[in-house]
Amino acid sequence: MSNNPFNVINPANPMNANRIGEMKSMYQAFRNANNPMALFQQMAMRNPQMQQIYNMLRNGANPNQLFENVCKQKGIDPNQLRNMLKG
C-alpha cells in the first residue's frame, strides 16, 4: 500500500474507505489548526511526499492548483475527492 495520501478514490474498496477516513481526519485537522502551515510542516517531516508538497507551497505554489495537479496526476477527480472529504 502506497503512503501517498492522494492515491484514493473507490470508496467501495475497504482500503480506500479507510484512506478516505484518514484524509477526512487530516482535512479536519487542517481546518481546525491555528497554524495550518506549521501542522503541514510537522507532517512533512515524517513523509517525503508531503515534504515535496510543503516545499512547493513554501516557494509560492497555489494550494488549490497544486491540489488539482496532484489529483490529475493520480487520475483522481478533484471535485469528487473534495466532496468525499467534506461529506
The model's pLDDT over 24-58, given as tens digits with 9 standing for 90+, comes to: 888 888 889 999 889 989 999 999 988 998 999 89
Query: How many structural domains compose the chain?
Result: 1
Q: Residue 51: inside a domain, yes or no? A: yes
Predicted confidence band of residue 2 (pLDDT cuts 50, 70, 90): very low
Q: Residue 68: inside a domain, yes or no? A: yes
Instruction: Note every long-range contact of 20-25, with CB atoms under 8 Å and residues 24 or more positions apart, other chains counting.
Output: 20/84, 20/85, 23/81, 23/84, 23/85, 24/84, 24/85
Radius of gyration of the chain (CA): 13
Q: Residue 2: inside a domain, yes or no? A: no
pLDDT of residue 62: 94
Is residue 60 predicted with pLDDT exceeding 90? yes
Q: Residue 3: inside a domain, yes or no? A: no
Q: Residue 7: inside a domain, yes or no? A: no
Q: Residue 5: inside a domain, yes or no? A: no
Domain span including residue 40: 14-86
pTM of whole model > 0.75? no
